[in-house]
């Protein structure tokens, strides 16, 4: 059976930002959601859950917009990919690499770990309808062995797209007597058929050129989001990103980094910023160390002094007097002096 995630009309559409994620505030990932209000506005999203995936049909008679930015990603690091089938109207997406427009009968991809802005626009009859599948990115990789970047858009008029969409709708509309196993098998089959259509359409060749860069960017984003977790490990990062620990080591090694050096640099950068932006009466040095992922104050102090050439206390005092800071260095010889930024660059 399907369930309603949200239903907005002219009486409650003002509450869309606080209600679009469902009753448990977890049905969609975090972002800024808005609805163009007018008389007779109707917006409705219905969902069918299949394992860790959701098949969602969204219908609207007015323009909708959604923004997913870095602060949202840091707060809610949901690593999911969304596959969109546009039935009526269009989807206009702006992302880091440009923009695209998915017209009726187009297929579009967005990723929750990549910032983007989306507008859902109605057709000449003031209707908008999309069918979209939300699934963990690592699960998608198991079914499609190539990367689909945010903003990837292609015509969905090939027979394979039609078949895949019909299979998804069959699962979405199925009565309660369809077993979970059967629903999962149909969903997996639909995604495999979709993967064949995308490979024939050139998505495979386009994705292979950037697969290593894409995986590295994903790794850096995950570490950035979970850097304060004292139990963060290479194994945990590799598992979350759907790759092996060996491949993760390879990705970092080719750029001159080790996992531990990268993690300590991230933590020390965060600690340095926090020390400069806070006062002793607000938070102590040791508390900052614990909150950025260090398990002991002495270890934090030693690592900080090695990177900044002064103790945390001296750094706070110097910052208060001069407003200056010295950027930390990575602790592997080849990459010494490099700084990792949100933009996933590996060169200062």
Chain position carrying tokens 């909708």: 64
Q: What is the pLDDT of residue 201?
A: 66
Q: Hey, where are the domains in the chain?
A: 3-208, 212-335
Q: What is the pLDDT of residue 25?
A: 67
Count of other CB atoms within 10 angstroms of residue 181 = 9
Q: What is the pLDDT of residue 343?
A: 32
Q: What is the pLDDT of residue 2?
A: 87
Please tell me the distance from the alpha carbon of residue 260 to that of residue 165, in angstroms, as a whole number. 44
Q: What is the pLDDT of residue 198?
A: 84
Assigned fold of 212-335: Arc Repressor Mutant, subunit A (1.10.10)
The Cα-based distances of 296 to 270, 276, 285, 292, 328 in angstroms read: 16, 20, 11, 11, 19
The Cα-based distances of 240 to 180, 297, 334 in angstroms read: 25, 29, 27
Please tell me the distance from the alpha carbon of residue 51 to that of residue 181, in angstroms, as a whole number. 9
Low-confidence residues of the chain: pLDDT under 70: 25-26, 145, 201-212, 321-348
Q: What is the pLDDT of residue 216?
A: 81
Tell how many helices (H) and how many strands (E) occur in the chain.
13, 12
Instruction: For 50, list phi and psi in degrees, rounded to 5.
Output: -130, 100
Please tell me the distance from the alpha carbon of residue 85 to that of residue 68, in angstroms, as a whole number. 20
Is residue 270 within 8 Å of 276, Cβ to Cβ? no
Q: What is the pLDDT of residue 49?
A: 92
The three-class DSSP label of residue 236 is helix
Q: What is the pLDDT of residue 160?
A: 92
Instruction: For 175, list phi and psi in degrees, rounded to 5.
Output: -75, 175
Q: What is the pLDDT of residue 277?
A: 82
How large is the C-alpha radius of gyration of the chain? Answer: 23
- In DSSP terms, 94 is beta-bridged to 99, 117
Judge if pTM exceeds 0.75. Answer: no
**CATH class in words for 3-208:** mainly beta
Q: What is the pLDDT of residue 326?
A: 45
205 sits in the region (left: phi over 0; alpha: psi -120 to 50; else beta) called alpha
């Amino acid at each position: 059976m399907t369930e309603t995630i949200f239903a907005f009309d002219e009486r409650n559409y003002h509450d869309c930002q606080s209600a679009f994620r469902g009753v448990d505030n977890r049905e969609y990932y975090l972002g800024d959601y808005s609805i163009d209000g007018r008389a007779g506005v109707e917006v409705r999203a219905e969902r069918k859950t299949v394992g860790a995936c959701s098949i969602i049909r969204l219908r609207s008679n007015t323009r909708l917009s959604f923004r997913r930015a870095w602060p949202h990603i840091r707060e809610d690091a949901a690593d999911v990919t969304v596959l969109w089938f546009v039935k009526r109207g269009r989807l206009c997406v702006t992302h880091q690499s440009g923009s695209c427009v998915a017209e009726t009968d187009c297929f579009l991809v967005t990723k929750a770990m990549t910032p983007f802005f989306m507008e859902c626009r109605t057709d000449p009859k003031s209707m908008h309808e999309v069918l979209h599948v939300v699934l963990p990115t690592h699960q998608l990789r198991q079914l499609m062995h190539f990367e689909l970047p945010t903003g990837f858009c292609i015509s969905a008029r090939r027979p394979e797209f039609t078949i895949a969409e019909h299979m998804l709708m069959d699962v979405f509309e199925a009565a309660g007597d369809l077993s979970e196993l059967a629903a999962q098998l149909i969903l997996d089959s639909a995604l495999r058929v979709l993967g064949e259509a995308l490979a024939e359409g050139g998505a495979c060749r386009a994705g292979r050129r950037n697969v290593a860069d894409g995986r590295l960017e994903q790794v850096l984003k995950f570490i950035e989001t979970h850097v304060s977790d004292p139990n963060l490990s290479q194994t945990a990062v590799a598992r979350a990103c759907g790759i092996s620990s060996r491949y993760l080591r390879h990705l970092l090694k080719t750029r001159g980094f080790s996992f531990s050096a990268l993690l300590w640099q991230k933590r020390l950068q965060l600690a340095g910023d926090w020390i400069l932006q806070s006062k002793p009466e607000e938070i102590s040095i040791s508390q900052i160390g614990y909150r950025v992922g260090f398990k002991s104050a002495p270890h934090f102090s030693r690592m900080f002094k090695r990177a900044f050439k002064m103790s945390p206390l001296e750094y706070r005092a110097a910052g208060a007097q001069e407003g200056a800071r010295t950027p930390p260095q990575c602790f592997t010889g080849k990459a010494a002096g490099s700084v990792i930024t949100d933009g996933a660059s590996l060169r200062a």
